[in-house]
Amino acid sequence: MTTKTSISKRILVTGGAGFLGSHLCDRLIEQGHDVLCVDNFFTGSKRNVAHLLDHPRFELMRHDVTFPLYVEVDEIYNLACPASPVHYQYDPVQTTKTSVHGAINMLGLAKRVRAKILQASTSEVYGDPEVHPQPESYWGKVNPIGIRSCYDEGKRCAETLFFDYWRQHQLRIKVVRIFNTYGPRMHPNDGRVVSNFIVQALRGEPITIYGDGQQTRSFCFADDLIEAMIRTMGTGDDFTGPINIGNPGEFTMLELAKLVIELTGSSSKLKFMPLPADDPKQRRPDIRLAEATLNWKPGVPLREGLSRTIEYFRKVATS
């Protein structure tokens, strides 16, 4: 086997046909890399990468990461996992398997081929946080037996595995904790708040507010997130993370609903519904580590990112 000396790398993106994965594939192809996109199409879709299918440096493989995968690559971005509560609670056992067995398989692969590997972790590792905003040093407040636990604890266990492969096998790892991210290619029936509100507003249906709408989230536009993810992969081998990536702007769900109504010009009314169990009351990333390490900060404000996302949903969700 010859060692590649050019800057073009062979990169595996698991979950590459999903919302974030497909944007990541786009950027990596643009940068001149060979991209192997692996997905079982549970929440992702071939449509998200259809424009890449004829590209000579792009390859799409249907595969479930809970099964072993033998390929030769230089870098791995491990994104495979449903991210919306509706989807990850549909088959919670499979969700934990995807996070845990998926991480073991991808780490085993990284170990065999000595690839650098990045884990798409989540702000959910902080649970319903008692420290606000959340720095990476906070260990979180997570219910281990609730309806969100398959996702939260699965992702926490995946982080544990990454750090044990790093300590035990000297793997080059990067763990990014992603805070709520939105943008074009979110699934219209994804169930997450941004896609729900936009689709409801465009269809003139009631906007569903869970609880009193005073809970907060911080929303990052997909392009900003992908930039930070790629920069994290490019950090020196001594940098492992965990590193928060997100936009620190913090909004209540009521504020978000009003903004979506204004930007869509919708006549939708608000409809209050029960708050799901274990729904975090507040969330905002402390991104000082990302600013210092990656020389990065999010550039797309919520208003602008929402407008671009609304434009996308006008094309796909109202037809």
Q: Should residue 82 be labelled a site residue for ligand NAD when binding is judged by CB under 6 A?
A: yes
Q: Should residue 181 be labelled a site residue for ligand NAD when binding is judged by CB under 6 A?
A: yes
Please confirm, yes or no, whether 210 is among the known catalytic residues: no
- Nearer of residues 143 and 272 to ligand NAD, judged by Cβ: 143
Size of the site for ligand UDP (CB under 6 A): 24
Placement of tokens 């033998």 in the chain: 70
DSSP sequence for 226-253: HHHHHHHHTS-TT----EEES---EEEH
Which does residue 42 touch among ligand NAD, ligand UDP, none (CB within 5 to 8 A, set by kind)? ligand NAD
- Selected binder of ligand NAD within 13, 44, 73, 193 (CB under 6 A): 44
Distance between CA atoms of residues 132 and 283, nearest Å: 7
Which does residue 210 touch among ligand UDP, ligand NAD, none (CB within 5 to 8 A, set by kind)? ligand UDP
In the complex, minimum distance from the CB of residue 180 to ligand UDP, in angstroms, rounded to a whole number: 5
What are the structure tokens assigned to 224, written together?
Answer: 């900003």
Which does residue 68 touch among ligand NAD, ligand UDP, none (CB within 5 to 8 A, set by kind)? ligand UDP
In the complex, minimum distance from the CB of residue 67 to ligand UDP, in angstroms, rounded to a whole number: 8
Closest by alpha carbon to 310, among 209, 241, 221, 237? 221
Which does residue 268 touch among ligand UDP, ligand NAD, none (CB within 5 to 8 A, set by kind)? none
Which does residue 20 touch among ligand NAD, ligand UDP, none (CB within 5 to 8 A, set by kind)? ligand NAD
Set 77, 126, 151, 182: catalytic member: 151
Q: Should residue 62 be labelled a site residue for ligand UDP when binding is judged by CB under 6 A?
A: no
In the complex, minimum distance from the CB of residue 138 to ligand NAD, in angstroms, rounded to a whole number: 16
Evaluate whether 99 touches 120 at the Cβ level (below 8 Å).
no
Beta strands in 165-301 (DSSP E): 173-178, 181-182, 207-210, 216-218, 220-221, 243-245, 250-252, 270-273
250-252 and 216-218 strand pairing: antiparallel
Q: Should residue 40 be labelled a site residue for ligand UDP when binding is judged by CB under 6 A?
A: no
**Amino acid identity, residue 125?**
V
Long-range contacts of 308-315 (CB under 8 A, 24+ apart): 308/183, 308/184, 308/221, 309/182, 309/183, 309/184, 309/186, 309/194, 309/198, 310/198, 310/202, 310/260, 310/263, 310/264, 311/184, 312/183, 312/184, 312/185, 313/188, 313/195, 313/198, 313/199, 313/202, 314/202
- Selected binder of ligand UDP within 68, 204, 234, 299 (CB under 6 A): 68
CA dihedral 244, 247, 250, 253 (to 10 degrees): -100
Distance between CA atoms of residues 193 and 281, nearest Å: 14
- Encoded one letter per residue, x for contact with ligand UDP by CB under 6 A and - for no contact, window 177-216 reads ---x-----------xx--x-----------xxx----x-
- Selected binder of ligand NAD within 25, 49, 98, 133 (CB under 6 A): 98
Binding site for ligand UDP (CB under 6 A): 68-70, 84-85, 104-105, 108-109, 111-112, 180, 192-193, 196, 208-210, 215, 217, 253, 275-276, 279
Q: Which residues are catalytic?
A: 151
